[in-house]
Amino acid sequence: MTESSVACVILAAGKGTRMKSDLPKVLHPLAGRPMIGHVLDAVAKLAPERVVVVVGPGMEAVTTAVAPVSTVIQAQPLGTADAVRAAAPALAGFTGDVLVLYGDTPLVTTETLNRMIAARRAAPNPAVVVLGMRLVDAGAYGRLICAADGSLERIVEYLDANADERAETLCNAGLMAFDGRRLFELLDRIDNANKKGEYYLTDVISIARNRGYACSVVPAPEDEVLGVNARSELAVAERLMQKRLRQTAMANGATLIDPDSVFLSVDTRLGRDVTIGPSVVFGLGVTIGDRVEIRAFSHLEQAQVADGAVIGPFARLRPGTRVAPNAHIGNFVEVKNADIGAGAKVNHLTYIGDAVIGAKANIGAGTITCNYDGFAKHQTEIGAGAFIGSNASLVAPVKIGDGAIVGAGSVVTVDVDPDALAVARGRQKSYPGWAARFRSHKR
């Protein structure tokens, strides 16, 4: 057996009826990624030989979401031990260590999984290692009952526990590590002689001990082993995940002025000396360079912001936005599928969509790129150093040359040459005394 001989079985066949959702429970997002995606990410860092996800009938959406990881189907919901048995074909011939995890326990870390593997390989060569948690208020969790030497003797469900057993604070977190050579030998001895008629994976401990095999416990923080069965628990998991992401961001050199109000996605990348104002939201696919300032109430998704740029407040960067170094995107500006050149300024009340903005161009307040004609999107190109006056409408496809000026209030439908002035608005007319006559007439 090599150090890399690990297989992972992820149980994801639960329907999640308490979620009251058409979406399979394990696909509900956490920090922008499906819950089961977090579990897969944690196990991927173990470099396992095999990974298999156990799903229920009709859960093709989960199969698609976890691809290329293979899936097997648990034909009927007959309990957790039966679910692991469904993975037997995928584990044929495997004799290493087998981790059993849950797709709705998304906060478990690779470090904890490594500790479980290490415990499984250590003396006295336990057949099973169970992940446990210490709880002040253990409630209805199953209790882990250990011997004087610290080895695990049995798991007692709350309803079956006596007063002394209920006083135990070490509880079952559900995750287990098995010696793959003994896994199915033990599973095959689990019966369903219980009120639900199901095959419980927790019964494996008493079976292993009866066969003379050792069993062990590895403790883990309660936050890591939170299972999500309802939307209220999903909200708790989101809070815990956001706390983890914020701490990582600050440890890596970002300043979060009000951390609790900043929401990050699992793939958000922040450079050094980045400052994030209050109530900023990062969707998936955002990369921020060094020395960037993201001001309050901004929303970014699938966007790239280069070094030294300033975003917001109240800015929205939509997918395909690329902001070059030292550019400014100001308040109530929306940018979509556009390149904003180095040092360019788009500071007020503006929509820039499907556009290329040259370096050091200045876009006046109220400017919009009219990129959609009802059938297709068209591009606007604004050259380096161009100046677009306030309240201009640029009807794409259109090109504004380098250094050109567009007068305020213009509706531009034709390309503007470099260094030219374009004014496209009606000529102002004045009628002396008209306003006074109008008011007199109305009275």
pLDDT at 194 (0 to 100): 84
Domain identity same for 213 and 251: no
- 145-165 CB burial, b ≥16 within 10 A, e <16: bbeeeeebebbbbeeebeeeb
Domain identity same for 248 and 193: no
Q: Is the pLDDT of residue 2 over 50?
A: no
Residue 432 forms part of a structural domain: no
Q: Is the pLDDT of residue 1 over 80?
A: no
Q: How confident is the model at residue 161 (pLDDT cuts 50, 70, 90)?
A: confident
Domain identity same for 282 and 413: yes
CB-CB neighbours of 196 under 10 Å: 10
Q: How confident is the model at residue 356 (pLDDT cuts 50, 70, 90)?
A: very high
Q: How confident is the model at residue 136 (pLDDT cuts 50, 70, 90)?
A: confident
Q: Is the pLDDT of residue 133 over 80?
A: yes
Domain identity same for 247 and 155: no
Domain identity same for 132 and 275: no
Q: Tell me which of 194, 225, 256 is where a domain ends.
A: 225
- Mean pLDDT over 401-423 rounds to 98
The CATH number of the domain holding residue 296 is 2.160.10.10
Residue 427 forms part of a structural domain: no
Q: What is the largest CA-CA distance in the chain?
A: 107
Report how many domains make up the chain.
2
Residue bearing the bigger pLDDT, 15 or 22: 22
Q: How confident is the model at residue 438 (pLDDT cuts 50, 70, 90)?
A: very high
Q: Is the pLDDT of residue 4 over 60?
A: no
- The CA distance from 96 to 179, in Å, is 6
- Mean pLDDT over 359-387 rounds to 97
Q: Is the pLDDT of residue 16 over 70?
A: yes
Domain identity same for 215 and 346: no
Percent residues over pLDDT 90 in the chain: 93
CB contact at 8 A, 205 and 130: yes
- Mean pLDDT over 318-326 rounds to 98
Token pair for 281: 């939201």
CB contact at 8 A, 253 and 274: yes
Domain identity same for 169 and 308: no
Least confident of 56-60, 154-158, 288-292: 154-158
CB contact at 8 A, 126 and 146: no
Domain that holds residue 309: 231-422
Q: Is the pLDDT of residue 271 over 90?
A: yes
Q: How confident is the model at residue 3 (pLDDT cuts 50, 70, 90)?
A: low
pLDDT at 25 (0 to 100): 96
Calculate the average pLDDT of the chain: 96
Domain identity same for 374 and 286: yes
Residue 442 forms part of a structural domain: no
179-202 tens-digit pLDDT: 999 999 999 999 998 888 999 999
Cis peptide bond N-terminal to 432, omega within 30: no
Amino acid (1-letter code) at residue 342: A
Residue 440 forms part of a structural domain: no
Residue 429 forms part of a structural domain: no
- The CA distance from 409 to 392, in Å, is 5
pTM: 0.92
Domain identity same for 21 and 105: yes
Residues assigned a catalytic role: 348
